[in-house]
Every structure is written in C-alpha cells, then in structure tokens.
Amino acid sequence: MPWTHSKTQDDIMQLTDERKAFDTDGATVLRGVFKGWTDLLAEGIAENAREPGPWFRDYTPDKRSGKFFGDYCNWNRIAPFRKFVEESPAAEVARSLMQSRQTRIFHEHVLVKEAGADKATPWHHDSPYYCVEAEQTISLWIPLDPVPRATCLEFVAGSHRWGKMFRPRKFSGVNYERSIAGLEDMPDIEAHRGDYPRLGHGAGRCDRLQLPRGARRAGQSVGHDGSAGGVVPLARRQRRLCGPRRRNLAALSAARG
C-alpha cells in the first residue's frame, strides 16, 4: 500500500546531512524523530507478545532467561503499530531520505532480546530475505530502550554500493537455501574487522553512527539502505549480555523513484 505521511512539506525535517550519510554510507542516525512514539510502540510490542502472529519466531526455545524472539507482518491487526504506520513521521522520513515521490510500507519487524541473550545476528543484508523488489528500499531501526555502544547495531559503511548480493543466513549461521542467481557467500567480516569501515559498534575506520557516550537512546532511529537495486548495507546486531530487555521495531518500506 502507498505509505502516506502526516507531515506537511514545510515540516519535513532538515535531513540534509542525514541524506548525504545515507547515500554515502548506506545508514544514518535520526535523532529524536520518534521520541514521542516509543510508548505507543511498546504497547504494540506487549500486545504482539501476548498474541503472536503466524510468523512469530523464538530464537532461544531452550532458554528460560536471556530470551530472544521476533515477529513481523502484524501492523494491520495490532492497533498501536497501525497508528504508527499511518500517523508517525516514518513515511515522510523514508521518502525524504530516498528522495522518492512516494513510499510503500512492506512490513514491520519486532525483535525483543532479553538480558543474557548470547546470540548475535550474523552479518547479512536484508534484500535476499525479502519477497519485494524496488529501485530503493529503507529500513528504520527504532530502539525502544537505551542501547549501550557495546551491543548496538553495526554496519559496513558503503557496502550497499558493492553491487553484490549475499546468501541469506539463519541466526544459527547456516545459509538459507535460495535458488536466486548471483548470490555470493558472505565474506568473513568478523575475522577481518579491521579491513572494513564500520558504523556503530566497534572502533572501525568509520564510526559515524556513534551517539554521545556511545549509546543509542530510545526513540532515536537508524535508517539504512538506499541504493540502485535495493541492495542494503551489511549489518550485524550484537549479543545482549547484561542490562534490561531490549525492544526494537524495524519498520521497512520500499519505493520506486
């Protein structure tokens, strides 16, 4: 569906620097954009946990603590998610960053990782996982809880411009079976971290996603993607070893021109 927005043209946030970073690096921080929406999204996640959808996944089924679960494609049935999709600035932010005429919502994706969760997401990019094709796509990663630098999202800067598509991987590290032509094996980024300019966690040559004191605050968003062919930058989510549970909403839209 077309993703309309509630902001007027004069009220479009001045995202000049963010657009430059988004185009160059494939990811950018959006500070304070969704500050007033986190409580509503938290209500939606609580409802989602009580009434999981058909795509719910428990990534730690054998654990009583340190749980990690996710769900997606529920925004039509969960009122707080629907309100966010239809009334928040998300659509206009997506359109502005991509410089597109319109945006279309693809799905929302909820991820909840409790303290003690020791499962890190493998390096990946989103495109090979999705049943959608577009000239541009964007994901808005929205943490609802403070995220320490040591466990935050990280990207390989500029990897959206490599012109490569890598085989999608399960959280266990095993490749999904995909018959799509042109998929390559993921390079071993963890073993050669110093060779890649990284954003977010770590001390790579490019650290433009760091916030003061290295933390990501609730309500601050990371927008990532935005290149011809819809190839997103390589991303990885860290282990959650201490502190309260972390709730995230990754809302994704796709657009053409």
Rounded (5°) CA angle 215-154-93: 80
Chain-centre distance for alpha carbon 73: 15
Q: Report the CATH number that the domain containing residue 161 is assigned in CATH.
A: 2.60.120
Q: Is the pLDDT of residue 114 over 70?
A: yes
pLDDT per position as a tens digit, 84-102: 999 999 999 988 988 888 8
- Global confidence as pTM: 0.79
Q: Is the pLDDT of residue 6 over 60?
A: no
pLDDT band, very low/low/confident/very high, at 201 (cuts 50, 70, 90):
low
Q: Is the pLDDT of residue 212 over 50?
A: no
pLDDT band, very low/low/confident/very high, at 217 (cuts 50, 70, 90):
low
pLDDT per position as a tens digit, 135-168: 788 888 888 888 777 777 888 888 888 888 888 8
Task: Count the domains in the chain.
Answer: 1
The pLDDT value given to residue 66: 83
User: Which residues constitute the domain of residue 203?
Assistant: 32-134+150-255
- What average pLDDT is seen over the chain? 76
> Is residue 26 a part of any domain in this protein?
no
> Is residue 52 a part of any domain in this protein?
yes
How far is the C-alpha of 137 from the C-alpha of 186, rounded, in Å?
A: 21
Does 170 or 110 have the greater pLDDT score?
Answer: 110
**Looking up tokens 């609802």, which residue turns up?**
144
How far is the C-alpha of 192 from the C-alpha of 80, rounded, in Å?
A: 42
Q: Which of the residue ranges 12-21, 40-49, 52-61 would you say has the lowest mean pLDDT?
A: 12-21
Q: Is the pLDDT of residue 214 over 60?
A: no
> Is residue 235 a part of any domain in this protein?
yes
The pLDDT value given to residue 230: 36
Q: Is the pLDDT of residue 11 over 50?
A: no
pLDDT per position as a tens digit, 226-250: 332 334 566 765 543 444 566 777 6
- Which helix or strand (DSSP H or E) is residue 70 part of? strand 68-72
**Mean pLDDT, rounded, for 30-47:** 92
> Is residue 22 a part of any domain in this protein?
no
The pLDDT value given to residue 1: 53
> Is residue 24 a part of any domain in this protein?
no
How far is the C-alpha of 56 from the C-alpha of 219, rounded, in Å?
A: 24
Cβ-contact 253, 131 below 8 angstroms: no
> Is residue 39 a part of any domain in this protein?
yes
pLDDT band, very low/low/confident/very high, at 53 (cuts 50, 70, 90):
very high
pLDDT band, very low/low/confident/very high, at 71 (cuts 50, 70, 90):
very high
Does 187 or 207 have the greater pLDDT score?
Answer: 187
Which pair of structure tokens corresponds to residue 218? 């609730």
> Is residue 1 a part of any domain in this protein?
no
> Is residue 121 a part of any domain in this protein?
yes
Which pair of structure tokens corresponds to residue 235? 């991303």
